[in-house]
């Protein structure tokens, strides 16, 4: 008699998924607030959409991932920080338009579901959500045998925030003479990892466990440094009218992200050496003999967020943020970034 086939025979463990879901529910509840109207496990997440304190509330949404930084998590076995990186990246993406986060959804896909690993990922996501005052409203964990290598997974995040229409930050008032302020990063954040892995692991023959004196720790630890959220630093300034533009420095670096907020007829000059250099960028530049322009297009180079403001407001903004550097100015031009001495 032929044995009855089951989903488990095809590599999908429904029982393991159910165990993971119960732990996810427990973690997600730690992010809930009075606006949360549904439980994890519903077909759709529900959130109270009333904003009585705003004249014209505008919802701002974004979706992103963490790229091949995941490969560092696989190599080190550290899975409880990737989720926080994901949330912070998404928070910054809507923050640049003046939006504060409301809720977040995640998508995790893997070949064979490992409840312990999934739990670690969700721990990072819930930590990031709590730190940013954001509800983890729902998500999806997909088990797809044969699609991902053993022990590997992919993650994506989806965020929704809100801003009053009259307080949207869109860069339209940026003008010649305005000042660029830079908020520091702590490392690569979530961009440039394909090149970084090539430099360290292929060209230099190192591993994630290799200790490097210049970095003051292992290469894996340096590459797993968190993607910083700038919400807390900028929160008190979002409604002030002092921020003409904000640029999140992700893929494309300073050279390609700053122009996204510039109006026609303007350009930017960024002064070399106007902020402290992070050792990891100097090290990678030497390892690959990489040209300056390529470094500034591939990496954030130590600046994770750029503020554009009027010169009269620069001092006030700097006083309200612990570390904030004057890194450049707005000039006439065709929406390009130039590096100057």
**Averaged pLDDT for residues 275-295:** 96
**Averaged pLDDT for residues 168-195:** 97
d(CA 222, CA 76): 12
Tell me: pLDDT of 18 over 80.
no
State the total domains in the chain.
2
Residues 163 and 199 in one domain: no
Going through the chain in order, the beta strands assigned E by DSSP cover: 57-65, 100-110, 135-143, 153-164, 179-184, 211-212, 217-218, 245-248, 266-271, 303-309, 325-332, 337-340
- Which of 299, 294, 264 is closest to 278 using CA atoms? 299
CATH of the domain at 44: 3.30.1330.10
d(CA 89, CA 91): 6
The pLDDT value given to residue 54: 95
Residues 102 and 206 in one domain: no
Confidence grade of residue 9 (pLDDT, cut at 50, 70, 90): low
Q: 252-284: buried (b, 16+ CB within 10 Å) or exposed (e) per residue?
A: bbbbbbbbebbeeebbbbbeeeebeebebbebb
The pLDDT value given to residue 185: 98
10 Å CB burial of residue 99 (0-12, 13-18, 19+) is buried
pLDDT tens profile 68-98:
999 999 999 999 999 999 999 999 999 999 9
CATH of the domain at 286: 3.90.650.10
**Averaged pLDDT for residues 301-314:** 98
The alpha-helical segments, DSSP class H, found in 132-276 are: 193-197, 219-223, 231-234, 253-257
The neighbour count for residue 206, using CB atoms within 10 Å, is 17
For residue 151, is it within any domain?
yes
Residues 210 and 286 in one domain: yes
**Averaged pLDDT for residues 184-200:** 97
**Averaged pLDDT for residues 276-291:** 96
Contact 11, 145 (CB under 8 A): yes
Tell me: pLDDT of 6 over 60.
no
For residue 174, is it within any domain?
no
Residues 20 and 146 in one domain: yes
For residue 202, is it within any domain?
yes
DSSP secondary structure of 20-37: HHHHHHHHHHTT--TTB-
Percent over 70 (pLDDT), the chain: 94
Residues 60 and 142 in one domain: yes
Structural domain for 326, as ranges = 179-340
Record the pTM. 0.94
Pairing of strands 245-248, 217-218: unpaired
pLDDT tens profile 91-132:
999 999 999 999 999 999 999 999 999 999 999 999 999 999
Residues 108 and 244 in one domain: no
The pLDDT value given to residue 17: 65
């Amino acid at each position: 008699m032929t044995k009855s086939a089951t989903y488990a025979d095809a590599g999908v463990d429904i029982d393991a998924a159910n165990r993971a879901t119960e732990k996810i529910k427990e973690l997600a509840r730690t992010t809930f607030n009075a606006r949360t109207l549904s439980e994890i496990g519903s077909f759709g997440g529900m959130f109270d959409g009333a904003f009585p304190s705003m004249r014209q509330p505008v919802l701002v949404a974004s979706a992103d991932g963490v790229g091949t930084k995941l490969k560092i998590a696989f190599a080190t076995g550290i899975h409880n920080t990737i989720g926080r990186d994901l949330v912070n990246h998404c928070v910054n993406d809507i923050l640049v338009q003046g939006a504060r986060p409301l809720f977040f959804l995640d998508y995790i896909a893997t070949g064979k579901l490992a409840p312990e690993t999934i739990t670690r990922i969700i721990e990072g996501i819930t930590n990031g959500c709590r730190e940013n005052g954001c509800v983890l409203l729902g998500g999806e964990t997909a088990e797809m045998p044969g699609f991902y290598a053993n022990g590997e997974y992919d993650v994506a995040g989806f965020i929704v925030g809100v801003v009053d229409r009259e307080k949207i930050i869109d860069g339209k008032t940026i003008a010649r003479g305005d000042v660029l302020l830079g908020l520091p990063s702590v490392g690569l954040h979530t961009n440039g990892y394909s090149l970084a892995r090539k430099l360290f692991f292929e060209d230099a023959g190192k591993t994630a466990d290799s200790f490097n004196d210049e970095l003051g720790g292992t290469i894996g630890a340096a590459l797993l440094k968190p993607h910083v959220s700038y919400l807390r630093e900028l929160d008190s300034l979002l409604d002030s009218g002092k921020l003409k533009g904000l640029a999140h420095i992700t893929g494309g670096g300073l050279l390609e992200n700053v122009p996204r907020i510039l109006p026609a007829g303007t350009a930017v000059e960024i002064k070399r050496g106007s902020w402290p250099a992070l050792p990891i960028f100097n090290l990678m530049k030497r390892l690959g003999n990489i040209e300056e322009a390529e470094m500034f297009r591939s990496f954030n180079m130590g600046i994770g967020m750029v503020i554009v403001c009027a010169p009269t407001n620069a001092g006030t903004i700097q006083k309200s943020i612990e570390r904030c550097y004057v890194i450049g100015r707005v000039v006439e031009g065709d929406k390009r970034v130039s590096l100057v001495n």
